[in-house]
Amino acid sequence: MLITVTDTAQSTWIVIAALVAVILLTFRKTTHNELFPVPATQELKGLGILAIVFAHISYMLVTDNTFLYPLSIAAGVGVDLFLFMSGFGLTVGMLKKQMPMLEFYRRRLIKVFIPFWIVLVILFFCDYFFLNIHYSIIYILQSVLGWFPRASAFEDVNSPFWYISWMLMFYALFPLLFMRERPWLTAILLAVIANVVALADPLHLQVNWLHRLHTNAFSLGIFLAWWMNTNPSKVKTLEWFRNQSSGMGRYIIVFTALIFAGYMACHSSAGNWPQLADILKSAGFDPGFFIGQTTSLITMAALIVFFSLKKFDNKFLYIYGVYSYETYLLHWPLMSRYDIFFPYMPAWAATILWVIAFIGIGWLLQKITAPVGAWVDKL
């Protein structure tokens, strides 16, 4: 059942104020000198999953999608951040030491599938015994295999799982196409395949419209890892620029990037770019998908510039990044079918409590999955 929010503006501002307060209170001076350190990647993941959670509340859980605006407008950027980080991280690892194909798949099994399968078992069990929801054997089997051809908010076991299927395509192809001497070619090949699959839609998937919005971020992550690996002198120059104690130029770039990211996030639809939309339409392209993905990638790039050059860390975003995958796996079914907050309190309070709860839930899920993953690793 959708939740009705009585005063969307006031409720939204309370959530924004609480979020800003937490972020400001958890700033600390960075202890890292690298251009794109691990804490920055974790913070970007934290920002990404928060954007997804806020969007799912605004557009899927409540009746008025002005609630949480503008926090709710960057879910696509969040998805692109996850895909980008995957491509970047996998390429960095393979450039340091290329692992055999079977070893690559084994590690993906432990890191991605073990938590995913545990959550699936929990959801199928709880839905059956507590909500009397019956899923067909075929649906259960295809879910276990990570195949989600649609993203129905209230009919699927977890509609955000469409991302699992899309991500698995990249994971399946990456070790087959990876060339240590030419990672840029791997990126191009994966981008071409993703765009062909999304645009051709050979299986006529209901979820295809989501795939078409996220075809290039994974490859861009590969490109950045390749560029940083092949241009150490330029990376050193950028690290010097980042780490100099004073310099108005860095501050201007950092805050311009942040403002630009916010602007692009708020102007991400074809309606915001009517002249470009007309040109694309006359050329035979779908302006909605082209502009949607392009603005999302530009926003993502601006955020990466900001998080790469800033000289402070944020504990809150970092913690959310650590538990981002667990939050992704569980946030929607918990809010949509097992909601213990929204029906009993104001929307702003429920939103804040869910944001807090997901940290604890993510921690608990990691504690459950870690020993299972270790056991599978020994096998």
| Domain residue spans of the chain | 8-378
| Statement: residue 31 has pLDDT above 90 | no
CA pair distance 172, 109, nearest whole angstrom: 11
Specify the pLDDT at position 194.
96
pTM, 2 dp: 0.95
At 246, is the pLDDT very low, low, confident or very high (cuts 50, 70, 90)? Answer: low
pLDDT tens digit string along 134-180?
Answer: 999 999 999 999 999 999 989 999 999 999 999 999 999 999 999 99
Mean pLDDT of 321-332: 97
pLDDT tens digit string along 267-290?
Answer: 999 999 999 999 999 998 889 999
| Statement: residue 222 has pLDDT above 80 | yes
Q: Which two tokens stand for residue 353?
A: 């409590």
| pLDDT > 70 in the chain, percent | 99
Specify the pLDDT at position 294.
95
Structure-token match 């050193």, residue found: 236
Mean pLDDT of 294-312: 95
Q: Quick count: other Cβ atoms within 10 Å of Cβ 136? A: 8
Specify the pLDDT at position 98.
86
At 244, is the pLDDT very low, low, confident or very high (cuts 50, 70, 90)? Answer: confident
Specify the pLDDT at position 34.
87
At 36, is the pLDDT very low, low, confident or very high (cuts 50, 70, 90)? Answer: confident
Quick one: which of 151, 157, 152 has its CA closest to 123?
157
pLDDT tens digit string along 88-98?
Answer: 999 999 999 88
Mean pLDDT of 293-317: 95
Specify the pLDDT at position 378.
81
| Helix H or strand E encompassing 28 | strand 27-29
Specify the pLDDT at position 128.
97
Mean pLDDT of 359-367: 97
Structure-token match 């259960």, residue found: 140
Cis bond upstream, residue 39 (ω within 30):
no
At 35, is the pLDDT very low, low, confident or very high (cuts 50, 70, 90)? Answer: confident
At 318, is the pLDDT very low, low, confident or very high (cuts 50, 70, 90)? Answer: very high
Cα angle 28, 42, 215 (rounded to 5 degrees) comes to 145
Q: Which two tokens stand for residue 183?
A: 């990672």
CA pair distance 240, 246, nearest whole angstrom: 11
| Statement: residue 245 has pLDDT above 70 | no
Q: Quick count: other Cβ atoms within 10 Å of Cβ 320? A: 24
CA pair distance 346, 88, nearest whole angstrom: 40
Average pLDDT, the chain: 94
pLDDT tens digit string along 43-83?
Answer: 999 999 999 999 999 999 999 999 999 999 999 999 999 99
CA pair distance 84, 89, nearest whole angstrom: 8
At 1, is the pLDDT very low, low, confident or very high (cuts 50, 70, 90)? Answer: low
pLDDT tens digit string along 192-204?
Answer: 999 999 999 988 8
